[in-house]
Structure 1
Amino acid sequence: MTVVEHLEELRRLLIISIVSTFVMAVVCWFFSDAFLKILLEPVTGTGNKIIYIGVTEAVFTKIKLAFFLGFLASLPVTLWQFWGFIIPALRKVERVYFTFFVFTSFILFIGGIAFGFLVVFKMCVSFLMRYGGAQLIPMLTIGNYVSFTLNFLLPFGLIFEMPLASYFLARLGIISYRTMIKGRKFAILAAVIIASAVVASPDIFTVLLFASPIYLLYEISATVVRVTEWAMGLKKSGRTLNILAPIKRLMKRARDLMVPAK
């Protein structure tokens, strides 16, 4: 393909991605009340209510939420288009790694957002709503609350990509297990700084609650790097590490059971 043909294909990819996001946002708009109820549960569950102070605040907040959900719902389409654009230029082995990368990155991103909301976000909001005491009455607006929620959850989706990125960086020889062990103190500092920037709260408990999973992911990434280095060492020594062998044996056994004996 010529450069012009590649650019034309890239343009088609971008158009499909944008259109799919818009279409899914329209679909999510009809379910925005249900999703909004789930997002508000950490606040409404404590007996508090969310208000809006502008005429258009409620509707624009629902539009923002619909586009965020539309973006998440259209990610498989976007990643599929991206996969189809890149895969022809790769060799057979590279295609396996790239397919693994695309699929795993999507799972980790969605898993990070789910973990951020179901575990960390609910605990943070529940604690902060009680932090004011009986003398203060919370007056949360829907616009600020949804913006805070989305800004809180997106970093979790990105941070959960850390183990996957560490795997490929280790295979390229850019990072090593020894380097990650030496960088633990800097990882702790970075986790606290990121948590402080995202949470934007002077409360140390909330910051540490956000920073803890970030540092835990760093330790998981270090373990991934160590296992990757070990597997690469086996390959260099002439031995093989086939972690899919048990799965293949189970699949073969299942096929044998499904096919009647002659």
Structure 2
Amino acid sequence: METTEMSVVDHLHELRKRIIISLITILSITILVYDQVHVLIKLLKMPISRFQIELVFFKLTDGFVSRLQVSLIAAVILTSPITISQILAYLSPGLKKGEKTFLYKNVLIISVLFALGVVFGFVLVLPYSLGFLIAYGSSYLKPALSGINYFNFIGIFCLYTGVVFLFPYVLVLLGKMSLINSKILRKYRKYVIIGAFMIEGVFLPSAGILTFVTAAAPVLIFYEATIWIIYFNERKKGRD
């Protein structure tokens, strides 16, 4: 019983250590970004520039909070490789040697996929989403966008698309650990296709068919590629 309690305590100490390292890293980058955040804010305002809408604030603290918020979200994105490595370091004691090697080799891939997802969401999906929401609201309301709400929306939106781009990696990882197989993924392929187009329909209701298909294509291509990657891994295991 004592050994079990010690192992649990050690486990919690390890978790605290990884969290502290990640938080200190994020905080440090937040401070650095905050000094030059006006450049980032100018970039984030570009999607609404064509609507000629000015951002406003309703509380005296909104200016400071929104600037801090943008800096924090930027820091979370910039430090994602370190955060991911800390998560893997925490999980590694419970994994086999081969699984550890597989995870650490793919830290860079995970980080790149996350960054691509963020850029994809900001450049391709976000302008059409904002266009629809602003046009819909303007049909019976006069737009006055709160700066803090606007930056919060963009931050959450881009973080979400970044996580979506990690979806294929998670499937490959689960396949590597034999928790799923290519047959299961093929079985649910039609549901993924329907779900992808339903989600794109929500975000891009006013976009043209070409943009609509282009926006949904990465998810479907990634899913199909994942099926084949897991399939070939299964065949390789069968030959070993």
1:92 to 1:156, Cα distance in 2 relative to 1, 3 A: same
Q: 1:134 to 1:98 in 2, by over 3 A?
A: closer
Of all paired residues, the percent bearing the same amino acid is: 23
Larger CA deviation: 55-64 vs 101-110: 101-110
> Is contact 2:168-2:222 (8 Å) kept?
yes
User: What TM-score, normalized by structure 2, do the two folds share?
Assistant: 0.79
- For 1:224, the aligned partner's letter is T
TM-score of the superposition, structure 1-length normalised? 0.73
Q: Which residue pairs with 2:188 in the alignment?
A: 183
Unaligned residue ranges in structure 2 (runs of 5+): none
The number of residue pairs the alignment matches comes to 234
- Contact residue 124 and residue 215 of structure 2 kept, 8 A: no
Does 1:26 pair with 2:31?
A: yes
Looking at structure 2, the residues matched to 227 and 139 of structure 1 have their Cα atoms a distance apart, in angstroms, of: 48
SS of residue paired to 2:117: helix
Deviations 1:128-170 (A, max 9, x none): 5566789975322212211221232122111111110111222
* Unaligned residue ranges in structure 1 (runs of 5+): 239-262
Alignment CA distance shift 1:134-1:14 (3 Å): closer
Q: Residue 145 and residue 117 in structure 1: after superposition, are their counterparts in 2 closer, same or farther (change >3 A)?
A: same
Higher radius of gyration, 1 or 2 = 1
Written as runs of structure 1 = structure 2, the 5 A alignment for 1:153-232 is: 153-191=158-196, 194=199, 204-205=205-206, 213=215, 216-232=218-234
Q: CA RMSD in A?
A: 3.4
Q: Which residue of 1 aligns with 2:66?
A: 61
Cα-to-partner distance string for 1:184-209 (whole Å, 9 max, x where unaligned): 33224433565578x5xxx7336x97
Matches within 5 A, 1:81-96: 81-87=86-92, 90-96=95-101
Q: How does 1:106-121 map to 2 (within 5 A)?
A: 106-121=111-126
- Of 155-164 and 94-103, the range deviating more from structure 2: 94-103
Q: Is the 8 A contact 2:117 2:163 kept in 1?
A: yes
